[in-house]
C-alpha cells in the first residue's frame, strides 16, 4: 500500500531560533530538537548527555515503600520467594533481572514462566498453587498481574505476600496485592507513565539499592536486559526510557553478558535499538512461542561457558521454526482475509483453529501492515478462542476491545496491542461489534499509512556536522525516531544506476536547487531508474547516514520513498 507523506508540525519557530543561538547548532538541528520537546539549553544538555542521576526517585511510585519493605524481608529474613514473569521478552528479562539481583545476596528465588499453551497470558492459578506447594512467602509478579483479582485472592488465602510490577492499563478494580507498582494507576504521582515491565522492576531494585545507601552505578549491569525489554515492547524512547536504553546499549557494547553475546555473533559494530528489537528480542520470544519461555530465561541468566553454547543453539533452532510457522500462517491469514473482506469494513478479523497460538501476534502485525486496518487474529486454545490484536497509528485498539467486553472472557493490553479470549459462540457477535466500534471511531486518514517526516531541507543543509550531531541523538525509537528529511526538486546528476544481483536496488547521485550533490541508496527501488534518468524532477524522503566503503567515508541518503508528483 502506497504511503502518504506528512510533514510534522513545527510550531515554535521563535523558540527554535533562540535554541539555535543558545546551543550554537545549525537550524536543522534546533528544529529537530524542538520537534522532540527539547526547547532549552538545559533540555539539550540532558538530551545529549544522559545521566543515570536524571532518573526519577523510585519512591515517587505508589506502593514503592511497601514493596521495598517486603524485599528487605526476603533479603534479611531469607523468606522464600517466587519471581513470576510473562512469557514474552519483557516478562522474561524482568525475571532475569530480579533473579540476578537476589543472587547478589546469596539468594535463589523460585523462577516461574507460564506455559503459553497450557496456562495462557497473565498470572496463572497453576503458579499460585505451585507457590503454595513450595511454601512461598513472597510472590513478585512482573509484566502482568494488574487484572489478576481472583489469582491474588487465592495467593492471599495462602498467606503469600504479592508484589505486582506491571505497566498495562489497570481496570477500575485492582487486585488486593501487598504492593502494586504501576505508574498508570490513577492515584500514582510517578512522573513518567511509559515504563515497560522490566523498567518497573529496575525501579524496584533502584529503590532497594537506594535504601541501602548505594549508588545507581552498582546496578547499571542490569540495564542490558532493561534496554532489550524497552526496544522489544515498543514503548516510547523518551524521558527515563531513553536514559535506560542509552546506558543499556552502552553496557552491551562495552561488556556484553555472555548470554547476550550469543545473539550478536555476526555484528562487527556497536549495536543499536534495531538490533535489540529485531535480532535479540525475537529470539527470546521464540522460546515461549514455540516451546517454553523458561528456555530463554535459563540462557539469559547462564554464566557457564559449557552450557551457554548448546542453549543458544536451541534458541536459534526455535527461532528458525518460528519463522517458518510465521510465514505459513501469514500467507493463510491473508488468503482468508481476501475471501472475508467487505468494502465497508474498517477492521481485519480472522480465525483458524489450527494456527499456532505463539505466532498470532506476529501475524496480526503483518496483516495490519498489509491492509492497514485494526487487526485481530484468533486461534483455538483448548475450548476457547484466543486472539491477538494490533492497531494502526494513533488508534486505540484497547479501548475498542474494551467497548466490546461483554462478548469476552478476558482482555488486556495497551493502545496498539492487546490480547483477548472469548467463547466460540461469541466470535461472530464480537466481530460485528468490534467492526462497528472501530468504524464509528476511526478517522479516514488513520486508515492510510504515512511517512511522517521531520523537515523539508535542501541538500546543502545536510552537512557532516549535522550528521555528527544527529548521531548523538541516539538511541532512536518511538518518539525519538531517526530524523527523516524531505528533499524536493531533485534531479539526476548523471551517476544514478541500479545495483544488486537483480538490479532491484537504486543507487542515485542527485542535485537540487541548492546546487549541492549527494548520493543515495534505495533498497527495492530499482523500478524508478528510467524516470530518474529522464531528468524528471522528484522528491526524496530519506535518513542521513555515513557510507563507509573501501576505506572512504561519504554522506549519503538512505532513501525511504520517492515521489515524482
CB 377 within 8 A of CB 360: yes
Cis ω before 189 (30° cut-off from 0): no
Distance CA 434, CA 519 (A): 47
Cα–chain center distance at 47: 20
Distance CA 44, CA 34 (A): 10
At the topology level, CATH places domain 4-49+451-563 in OB fold (Dihydrolipoamide Acetyltransferase, E2P) (2.40.50)
Q: Give pLDDT, residue 430.
A: 97
Q: Give pLDDT, residue 79.
A: 96
Domain extent listing, the chain: 4-49+451-563, 54-313, 341-447
Q: Give pLDDT, residue 185.
A: 94
Q: Give pLDDT, residue 341.
A: 67
The three-point CA angle 467-472-475 to 5° equals: 115
At the topology level, CATH places domain 341-447 in Diaminopimelate Epimerase; Chain A, domain 1 (3.10.310)
> Which of 155, 162, 136, 135 is closest to 67 using CA atoms?
162
Q: Give pLDDT, residue 414.
A: 83
Same fold for the pair 54-313 and 341-447: no
Residue 509, C-alpha cell as written in the block: 547521485
Q: What is the four-CA torsion angle of 229, 230, 234, 235, rounded to 10 degrees? A: 140
Could you tell me which residues are beta bridge partners of residue 218?
none
Average pLDDT for runs of 10 along the chain of length 565: 89 90 96 95 95 97 98 96 96 98 96 92 94 98 95 98 96 95 96 97 98 96 98 93 97 94 88 94 95 96 93 96 96 92 82 95 95 96 94 94 95 88 97 96 93 96 97 94 97 93 94 95 95 93 91 91 90
Distance CA 108, CA 560 (A): 49
> Which of 162, 161, 152, 248 is closest to 199 using CA atoms?
248
Q: Give pLDDT, residue 342.
A: 63
Q: What is the four-CA torsion angle of 228, 233, 236, 239, rounded to 10 degrees? A: -50
| CATH number listed for the domain at residues 54-313 | 3.90.1640.30
Amino acid at each position: 500500500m502506497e504511503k502518504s507523506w506528512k510533514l510534522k508540525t513545527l510550531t515554535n519557530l521563535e523558540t527554535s531560533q533562540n535554541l539555535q543561538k543558545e546551543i550554537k547548532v545549525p537550524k536543522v538541528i534546533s528544529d529537530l530538537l524542538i520537534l522532540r520537546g527539547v526547547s532549552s539549553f538545559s533540555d539539550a544538555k540532558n538530551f545529549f548527555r544522559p545521566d543515570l542521576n536524571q532518573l526519577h526517585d523510585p519512591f515517587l511510585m505508589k506502593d514503592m515503600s511497601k514493596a521495598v519493605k517486603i524485599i528487605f524481608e526476603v533479603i534479611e529474613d531469607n523468606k522464600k520467594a517466587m519471581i513470576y514473569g510473562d512469557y514474552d521478552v519483557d516478562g522474561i528479562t524482568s525475571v532475569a533481572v530480579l533473579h540476578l539481583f537476589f543472587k547478589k545476596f546469596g539468594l535463589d528465588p523460585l523462577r516461574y514462566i507460564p506455559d503459553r499453551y497450557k496456562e495462557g497470558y497473565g498470572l496463572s492459578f497453576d503458579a499460585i498453587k505451585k507457590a503454595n506447594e513450595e511454601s512461598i512467602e513472597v510472590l513478585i509478579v512482573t509484566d502482568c498481574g494488574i487484572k489478576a483479582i481472583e489469582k491474588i485472592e487465592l495467593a492471599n488465602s495462602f498467606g503469600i505476600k504479592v508484589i505486582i510490577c506491571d505497566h498495562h492499563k489497570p481496570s477500575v478494580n485492582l487486585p488486593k496485592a501487598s504492593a502494586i507498582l504501576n505508574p498508570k494507576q490513577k492515584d500514582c504521582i510517578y512522573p513518567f507513565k511509559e515504563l515497560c515491565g522490566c523498567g518497573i522492576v529496575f525501579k524496584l531494585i533502584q529503590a532497594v539499592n537506594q535504601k541501602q545507601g548505594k549508588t545507581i552505578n552498582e546496578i547499571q549491569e542490569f540495564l542490558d536486559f532493561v534496554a532489550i525489554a524497552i526496544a522489544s515492547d515498543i514503548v516510547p524512547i523518551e524521558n527515563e526510557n531513553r536514559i535506560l536504553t542509552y546506558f543499556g546499549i552502552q553496557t552491551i557494547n562495552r561488556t556484553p553478558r555472555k548470554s547476550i553475546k550469543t545473539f550478536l555473533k555476526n555484528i562487527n559494530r556497536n549495536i543499536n535499538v534495531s538490533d535489540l528489537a529485531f535480532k535479540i528480542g525475537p529470539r527470546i520470544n521464540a522460546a515461549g512461542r514455540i516451546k517454553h519461555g523458561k528456555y530463554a530465561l535459563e540462557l539469559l541468566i547462564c554464566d557457564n561457558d559449557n552450557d551457554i553454547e548448546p542453549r543458544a543453539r536451541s534458541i536459534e533452532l526455535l527461532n528458525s521454526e518460528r519463522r517458518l510457522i510465521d510465514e505459513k500462517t501469514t500467507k493463510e491469514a491473508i488468503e482468508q482475509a481476501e475471501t472475508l473482506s467487505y468494502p465497508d469494513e474498517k477492521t481485519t478479523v480472522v480465525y483458524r483453529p489450527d494456527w499456532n497460538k505463539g505466532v498470532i501476534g506476529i501475524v496480526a502485525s503483518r496483516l495490519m501492515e498489509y491492509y492497514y486496518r485494526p487487526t485481530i487474529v484468533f486461534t483455538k486454545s483448548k475450548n476457547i478462542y484466543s486472539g491477538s490484536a494490533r492497531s494502526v497509528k494513533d488508534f486505540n485498539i484497547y479501548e475498542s476491545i474494551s467497548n466490546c467486553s461483554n462478548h469476552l472472557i478476558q482482555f488486556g493490553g495497551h493502545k496498539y496491542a492487546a490480547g483477548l479470549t472469548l467463547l466460540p459462540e461469541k466470535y461472530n457477535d464480537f466481530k460485528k461489534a468490534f467492526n462497528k466500534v472501530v468504524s464509528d471511531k476511526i478517522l479516514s486518514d488513520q486508515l492510510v499509512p504515512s511517512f511522517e517526516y521531520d523537515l523539508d531541507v535542501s541538500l546543502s543543509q545536510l552537512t557532516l556536522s549535522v550528521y555528527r550531531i544527529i548521531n548523538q541523538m541516539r538511541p532512536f525509537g518511538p518518539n525519538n525516531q531517526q530524523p527523516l528529511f524531505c528533499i524536493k526538486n531533485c534531479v539526476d546528476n548523471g551517476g544514478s544506476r541500479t545495483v544488486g544481483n537483480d538490479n532491484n536496488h537504486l543507487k542515485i547521485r542527485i542535485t537540487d536547487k541548492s546546487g549541492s550533490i549527494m548520493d543515495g541508496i534505495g533498497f527495492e527501488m530499482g523500478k524508478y531508474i528510467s524516470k530518474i534518468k529522464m531528468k524528471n524532477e522528484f522528491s526524496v524522503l530519506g535518513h542521513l547516514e555515513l557510507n563507509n566503503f573501501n576505506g572512504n567515508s561519504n554522506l549519503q541518503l538512505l532513501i525511504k520513498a520517492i515521489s515524482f508528483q
